[in-house]
Amino acid sequence: MTMNRRDFLATAGRGAAALTMTSMLPLAAMGADEILVGGLHDETGGLDFAGAPMQQMVRFACDEINEKGGLLGKQVKAVTADTGSNMQLYQSLAQQVALRDKVNVVMGGITSASREVIRPVLHRFNTLYFYNTLYEGGVCDRNCFCTGTTPAQTVEKLVPYVMKKWGKKVYTIAADYNYGQITSAWVKRYVEANGGQVLSTDFFPLDVTNFGPTIEKIQSAKPDLVMSVLVGASHLGFYRQWASAGLKKQIPIASTTFGAGGTEPILITPEESNGIISCYGYYPTIESAANKAFIAKVESKVDKFFGGKMPLLTELSVCTYEGCMMWAAGVKKAGSLDRMKIIEALESNISFDDFPSGKVTIDPKTHHVTRNVYLADLEERKFIILETYPQQPPADTQAVCDLVKNPNDNQHYQIKL
């Protein structure tokens, strides 16, 4: 992102306004008889379509915990702050919820860039942190639990499936930051492992909107399929321009991101998005009693928490819900609000059988999760599940991270490929 003087002033102004406004809230509003859960998600800005449902889900989950009698005889309260798709706000708001609000846990971060802003802050201030987004893998920090999927769980399944279906020549287009760089490296690895070839990998900063030259380049390279690792609202322009160039019927698209966040399939018309194959830890069309009950519960509270409109449930928002529930189970098992006791409780091979996404187990060595992975085709804004891969371990992070052996490890490993 280019930062000019106007950007800087606008950002600084907004940051200052946000700080002064929130600090005017009376401290008495946060009584000691409540347990606070922080929520740091982008409700505005370029990532709002993913962040808003996640933030709503934090409030929804807290409400559900209270309905079941709260925790340790106390009520749970969500303290949410809008990070505005802005890294400076992540920095200041993370300090605010940790130091001023003294929340017990923070659910937050969407891009890996934002996670690496708040993770060190929360680690330093001893505030438990849940990152509930699919990402490139490799975070190794005892204070942090990563509940989303990583490439060894999803890309490993997606690549061979689409190569078998469409062909061996792949063209990758990816967002230009650590998630896109690392995930596209995984794509290349799995393509080559399956006897295929990556013709080219092109990277785009998050604010790129014009994909004209790229679309011509892809056509002249004649791949069998395009693998999209694009992120954010600006990049949605690719799908529009791709369809308007009439290429949808010629070269199919698979994606590690499309439909993961929230409203991409709503912002993009069915004609532009039909046939995109993806692979995530959750789809709303999962056929299980637990998922149906979960969706019914969301529906019944759609006015209270989701602005009157049924949210498109995705891995990001549902993992946020599951993250809240994992933390609650940890508190219950620990019987205490002490951070280390909760971490130890969550490290005791704790398993959840009836989550919306299926069975989920926390891996004590990596603080990542073993979960079901699904592969689906998008048709008319509905994900049709084609394959289910039960109980996939986070093998990529397991290769580099062992918190049982090195409990003081605190870094984001760039997994060597």
Using only C-alpha atoms, the chain has a radius of gyration, in whole angstroms, of 21
| Closer residue to other proteins in complex, CB, 307/390 | 307
How many residues of this chain bind other proteins (CB under 8 A)?
43
Q: Cβ closer to other proteins: 6 or 416? A: 6
Q: Is 354 in the site for other proteins (CB under 8 A)?
A: no
> How far are the Cα atoms of 100, 139, 161, 195, 266 from residue 168, in angstroms, in the given order?
54, 31, 11, 7, 31
Between 105 and 236, CB nearer to other proteins: 236
Amino acid symbol at 387: E
Q: Which stretch binds other proteins (CB under 8 A): 62-70, 264-272, 330-338, 353-361?
A: 264-272
Binding positions for other proteins, 205-224, rule CB under 8 A: 205, 207-210, 212-217, 219-220
**Minimal distance, residue 245 CB to other proteins, in Å:** 5
393 part of the interface to other proteins, by CB under 8 A: no
Q: Is 270 in the site for other proteins (CB under 8 A)?
A: no
Q: Which stretch binds other proteins (CB under 8 A): 104-112, 160-168, 245-253, 368-376?
A: 245-253
Measured CA distances, 332 to 61, 282, 329 (Å): 15, 26, 5
**In the complex, least distance from residue 44 CB atom to other proteins, rounded to whole angstroms:** 4
Task: For residues 300 and 391, give the distance between their C-alpha atoms in angstroms, rounded to a whole number.
Answer: 30
Interaction with other proteins in 26-85: which residues (CB under 8 A)?
A: 44-46, 48-49, 84-85
Are 261 and 360 a contacting pair, CB within 8 Å?
Answer: no
- 403 phi and psi, to 5 degrees? -75, -15
128-131 and 144-146 strand pairing: parallel
Of 8, 10, 25, 338, the residue at the interface with other proteins (CB under 8 A) is: 10
Residue 76, strand partner residues: 35
Q: Is 267 in the site for other proteins (CB under 8 A)?
A: yes
Q: Which of 26, 69, 195, 246 binds other proteins (CB under 8 A)?
A: 246
3-class secondary structure per residue, 324-387:
HHHHHHHHHHHCCCCHHHHHHHHCCCCEEEEECCEEEEEECCCCEEEEEEEEEEEECCEEEEEE
Is position 244 an interface residue for other proteins (rule: CB under 8 A)?
yes
For residue 105, what are its two tokens?
Answer: 């846990």
Would you tell me which residues interact with other proteins (CB under 8 A)? 4, 6-7, 9-10, 44-46, 48-49, 84-85, 176, 202-205, 207-210, 212-217, 219-220, 233-234, 236-237, 240-241, 244-247, 250, 267-269
